[in-house]
Chains A and B, each alone.
Chain A
Amino acid sequence: MPETTLLDWAWAVVLYWLGLAAASLALQTQAGLTRWVVFPLGILGAAAMAVLGALALASPPTQFILPIGLPELPFHLRLDALSGFFLILLGVASSGVGIYAIGYFRHMAAGPLAVLSLWYHLFLAGMALVLLADDAYAFMVAWELMALASYFLVTTDHKIPDIRRAGFLYLLIAHVGAVALLLAFGVLHGSDPARMAAYSFDAMRENTLNPAWASVTFLLALFGFGAKAGLVPLHVWLPEAHPAAPSPVSALMSGVMLKTAIYGLLRVSLDLIGAPPAWWGTVALSLGLVTALYGVIFAAVQSDMKRLLAWSSIENIGFIIAAFGLTLIFHADGKGALAALTLTALLYHALNHALFKSLLFVGTGSVLHATGERRMGRLGGLIRFMPWTAWLMLLGALAIAGLPPLNGFVSEWLLLQAFLLTPGLTQPYLNMAIPVAAAVVVLAAALAAYVMVKFYGVIFLGQPRDPELNEAHEAGWPERLSMLGLAAGCVVLGLVPSQMIGWLNPVVEALLQQTLPNDGNWLMVAPLSAQRASYAPLVFLAVVSAITLLVFFGVKYVYHGRVRRAAPWDCGYPELDARMQDSAEGFGQPIRLIFSAFMRVERITPDPFDRQPQYRGDSRDKVWLWLYQPIAAAAAWLSAQASRLQHGRIQWYLIYSFATLIFLLVFVTR
């Protein structure tokens, strides 16, 4: 009996989640049991998964083969540092979201809740299997299990037509992506492609493709994984599906599922293909930057809070893919240390995004529960009614905006360092492009902060825009606990970057055979060289806290010893009311005007004499108009043309047959 490996345990957790999914079905009438037993048990599994992932970082890869699957290609599983890291991400984020779900679904009837719990746990199992799969078939099965489960989670409220539409669009694009992946694995085979055994990842690792086929594989993989990650122009499902899903599901999809696509990209390009040329990196970098900028611009003009977060996810995925492209460029150029730095930034940002995006999505869920409203134009001033939610969300918003000393700053800073430290690359055009790319990253990061000011300010600050908001209630304790945990994660990851980078080293080393030089300084992060740049979050925090305290006590004891309270200056208006506040649309207007070329703006504006003035503004994505509608129209046109051959007259059908016969006879007797 061989000893039990970490992989055995991870597989056991997958089975355990599958078991919980099955158990949910038996609880069709027991909402309480589902919420208080099944979900907590699922969280235990998630926590265990995070621990297993952490242990796997420092352990050699383990593999095993299950006795099911295809002939000659049974299911292969493998746990190494890369899958370990993403298992941590999955485990941590889904633990937090799971706690939230216990509270969030308290009003759901037992039947639908059982179905939801079924798909929820299948979703978790599917994502874990994606990370563990070690052959093309197992990967595809896991990948589609994940897609299907999330589709059913998105369509939980399938009675609403928009949600059905969103779900269908999501599933269709997921399927298009899956086909691209299938083709990628078809090209990326082992040395004897006529046998099924050539499609295990081990066989792919051993085989070296010629450069042309390797590039085909990479482009197919970028397309396939890009469709899942939300790479422009394959992103259109994301702003539809995320708002449609229940908030914990949005959190998992955005926080974790999008990262499985990043995992896949890393796995295929750096592990399975190996030796990527620099131009792959250029492609990924360009697409990533376009995605980041596109995402943040659209986030700035949204008026639906969940849709705004969905666009912000697109932006963050853009960052990550840009970092991925930069890693490939440096790696191909022999700049090992820089490649390690960008890969570290990538992984760090993936984990960060999992935490703060989950936090923000579940937070919007609480707002939605409390107010029944997703449109930011009807919210406002909620910090007074939902202080827990508001303050914890503030941490999330600051983190995603990239402010120190929180975690978002660290990863963005690392990425920017990589840009700034870039020495001369061997390709002159790339040398010219890198500063431009850096400028785009900075612009997107700045706009991200702008977006978060709008998001937070419109929802939580100011006065309520609707009298009914006075009835808004604070979230229940499981929700608060969950948000507290996720927010704590953001803080901790922001304060201990040196340790984090040390933990990430095995992953980086496994992929690039290179690590960041670690000078053992626990206080100060100094990638590459302390002379160039360094950052010490604890010092930063200490200084900021000290200044704050100094000012506070200084004002209190030195400046007259008192704090004067008065009404804020009202600019001469005697009564400030909610209508005078900046609206979501108004706040986004400058961005909308600057980038109007990318948008189709639909507005209804009142004229001065309207009895019941109405205002509505909506900025639509032109990719939909330019790319998807023509494709849909072409498919419809082709279908109509094709159907013309099927008009139901036997005479014509027989003519087809005879024509075929004559064609064949002429052909074979030529």
Chain B
Amino acid sequence: MLEGIGILSLTIWVPIVAGLLLLALGGDDRRADGIRALALIGAVLGFLVAIPLWTGFDKTTHAMQFVERMAWVPAFNIHYHLGVDGISMPFVLLNSFTTVLVVLAGWVVIREKVAQYMAAFLIQSGLLNGVFAALDGVLFYIFFEAMLIPLYLIIGVWGGPNRVYAAIKFFLYTLLGSLLMLVAVLYLYFESGGSFDILAWHRVPLTLAAQLLLFVAFFFAFAVKVPMWPVHTWLPDAHTEAPTGGSVVLAAITLKVGAYGFLRFVLPIVPDASHELAWLMVALSLVAIVYIGLVALVQADMKRLIAYSSIAHMGFVTLGFFIFNPLGIEGGLVQMISHGFVSGALFLCVGVMYDRLHSRQIADYGGVVNTMPKFAAFMMLFAMANAGLPGTSGFIGEFMVILGTMQVSFWWALAAGLTLIFGAAYTLWMYKRVIFGPVANPQVAALKDIDGREFLILALLAVCVLALGVYPLPLTEVMHASVNHLLEHVAHSKLSY
């Protein structure tokens, strides 16, 4: 730990301070170039301060690392308590990295309220890091709630024509879940004898009845975020209306918060209830995978299609978590990281086209490869990764989860395998209709291929997708100790304490 302020604090506060600075300076769009540069510096700085988390990480232990702990509200035993293990650390990095891309992606397109736009993303990035690093229940809750505000504004202010509807829907949904979680947090505070320490909660003995109720409360908070079927309906609207950057952050990071919550709260705090209700979680995951696959097939709007495919992919994650074996959980985590890259990249691709043609409708395109060959190559890679093609990151997680599921039930694995077919069908069909063929109309004929900035963004993501696809070892090594420890913990019943 550094003198005074730790690395995790830096990853949280550097972007937030940068964001506040932008708000203080901004307001005048005539100085937008300076604002953009400052935002980029803030985002890159935020990423740089997170790198020591990776380089200094001890892969051999499951214990929390880079821990910071100081009293915050002593009257209620609330602490400013941060720390990461192999499960949360990759997400801090992913988030900080995505923020850089998002700032770059909004460089030219956003011309109004530039400072506020950039500030919203930077602040959001800091808050999200807070969510992944918080080890105190109240601190987590605050970050968890606060991160909604920037996203709400991003959708509501810079979104599409139907943005207000989408923003309100988004807010209503997530609020509903959060309130139930607050009840759970308070219950655990009293049950644990007055502690908000999440790690202490892991060891609190609980009756099965209490566990089941806590499960329901947490389920709502996290299932809405994932989102799991049938509380997923806010996501397609939010994605469709959000500006490109908003969609990227939403898909790449915000959804992961829900899945992360299951691993940090649900599995360890209520292990018996998790086992008891695993069938339900598996069923909802499989429904998400199959049902959403079907819905995605008939989408005419590219962003909606990718949004639905996100739901199906996240179904894989929750499926992997609730089969309680290392292949499933590690596969789920790899899938989360991979989906961060792939869905982010696909939304950026749609953004690239939308910036030029101002349409997200598949029918408005056709033959884009003729005018934008470089772009078509990138989009092909990401479409393939989304379809789970071996050699890309998209396959690894699905491969591990399917093999893990096979240990539990062949039929579940078969049903999960269906998503690979649906995934291929809707993704490749979209790709075929948008990219291939003769030039469909004069607008497509006038398209310009990607410029250096766009190339850089997409190339960075392409490297990540391919590297993770052929060599995921560095990532899984980081997770291994923590996942094994989590599984051991979950295997012990709390009822016998």
User: Which A residues have a C-beta under 8 Å from some C-beta of B?
Assistant: 68-71, 137, 140-141, 143-145, 148, 155, 158-159, 161, 164, 167-168, 171-172, 175-176, 178-180, 182-183, 185-187, 189, 193-196, 199, 216, 635-636, 638-640, 642-643, 645-646, 648, 650, 653-654, 656-657, 660-661, 664-665, 667-669
Contact = CB atoms under 8 A, between A and B. Distances in A.
Contacts of B349: none
Interface in B390-419: 390-391, 395-396, 399-400, 402-404, 406-407, 410, 413-414, 417-418
Contact of A141 (B215, B233, B391, B420): B391
B480 A71 contact: yes
B264 to A, nearest CB: 20
B424 interface: yes
Interface string B363-374: 000010100000
B237 A648 contact: yes
Interface of B: 165, 168-169, 172-173, 176, 209, 212-213, 215-216, 219-220, 224, 230-231, 233-234, 236-237, 273, 277, 280, 291, 294-295, 297-298, 325-327, 330, 367, 369, 384, 387, 389-391, 395-396, 399-400, 402-404, 406-407, 410, 413-414, 417-418, 420-421, 424-425, 428-429, 432, 436-438, 470-473, 476-477, 480
A179 B420 contact: yes
Contact of B169 (A172, A645, A653): A653
A635 B231 CA distance: 23
Contacts of A159: 367, 437-438
Contacts of B407: 193-194
A172 B428 contact: yes
A640 B298 contact: yes
B233 A69 contact: no
Contact of B436 (A148, A158, A657, A661): A158
A641 to B, nearest CB: 8
A68 B471 contact: yes
Contacts of B472: 70-71
A646 B420 CA distance: 23
A144 B395 CA distance: 11
A186 B403 contact: yes
A656 B230 contact: yes
A260 to B, nearest CB: 15
Contact of B172 (A70, A145, A654): A654
CB-CB nearest 5 A-B residue pairs: A668-B212, A186-B406, A141-B390, A175-B424, A71-B476
What DSSP secondary structure best describes chain A's contact surface? helix
A24 B343 CA distance: 30
Contacts of B414: 183
A657 B390 contact: no
Nearest to B387: A175
Contacts of A144: 389-391, 395
A196 B328 CA distance: 11
Contacts, number: 162
A164 B432 contact: yes
Contact of A148 (B330, B384, B400, B437): B384
Contacts of B172: 650, 654
Given A144-B391, A639-B294, A175 B421 contact: yes
A145 to B, nearest CB: 6
Contacts of A141: 390-391, 395, 470
Contact of A182 (B213, B216, B224, B420): B420
Given A69-B470, A168-B429, A646-B236, A140 B395 contact: yes
A669 B209 contact: yes
Contacts of B215: 668
B231 A642 contact: no
A187 B295 contact: no
Nearest to A158: B436
A643 B294 CA distance: 8
A657 B421 contact: no
B234 A653 contact: yes
Given A653-B233, A660-B231, A668-B277, 20 more contacts: A144-B390, A159-B367, A161-B437, A171-B424, A175-B387, A175-B424, A179-B417, A183-B406, A183-B417, A186-B406, A186-B413, A194-B327, A196-B327, A642-B294, A643-B295, A645-B230, A653-B169, A657-B224, A657-B230, A661-B216
Contacts of A179: 417-418, 420-421
A657 B399 contact: no
A168 B291 CA distance: 22
A213 B330 CA distance: 26
Contacts of B277: 668
B326 A176 contact: no
7 contacts: A141-B470, A164-B436, A178-B420, A183-B410, A189-B406, A193-B403, A669-B212
Given A70-B396, A172-B424, A175-B424, A635 B297 contact: yes
B297 A650 contact: no
Nearest to A74: B473
A183 B327 contact: no
Contact of B413 (A176, A183, A643): A183
A657 B176 contact: yes
A172 B417 CA distance: 14
A667 B216 CA distance: 10
B390 A216 contact: no
Contacts of B395: 140-141, 144
Contacts of B477: 71
Contacts of B224: 657
Interface centre among B224, B294, B384, B402 (most CB of A within 10 A): B294
A140 B216 CA distance: 39
Contacts of B410: 183, 187, 216
Contacts of A180: 417
Contacts of A640: 298
Nearest to B367: A159
B397 to A, nearest CB: 11
A193 B400 CA distance: 11
B295 A639 contact: yes
A645 B414 CA distance: 25
A636 B298 CA distance: 8
Nearest to B406: A186
B231 A657 contact: yes
A119 B429 CA distance: 20
Contacts of A69: 470-471, 473
Contacts of A650: 165, 168-169, 172
Nearest to A165: B432
A375 B406 CA distance: 49
A182 B417 contact: yes
Contacts of A660: 230-231
A199 B413 CA distance: 16
Contacts of A189: 403, 406
A318 B298 CA distance: 36
A187 B280 CA distance: 24
Contacts of A636: 297-298
Contacts of A155: 436
A664 B219 contact: yes
Given A69-B470, A194-B407, A186 B402 contact: yes
Nearest to A137: B399
B130 to A, nearest CB: 26
Contacts of B168: 650
A140 B473 CA distance: 18
Contacts of A140: 390, 395, 399
B483 to A, nearest CB: 11
Contacts of A183: 402, 406, 410, 413-414, 417
Contacts of B297: 635-636, 639
Contacts of A642: 291, 294-295
A64 B477 CA distance: 23
B295 A646 contact: yes
A227 to B, nearest CB: 11
A216 B425 CA distance: 25
A288 B406 CA distance: 30
A56 to B, nearest CB: 25
B387 to A, nearest CB: 7
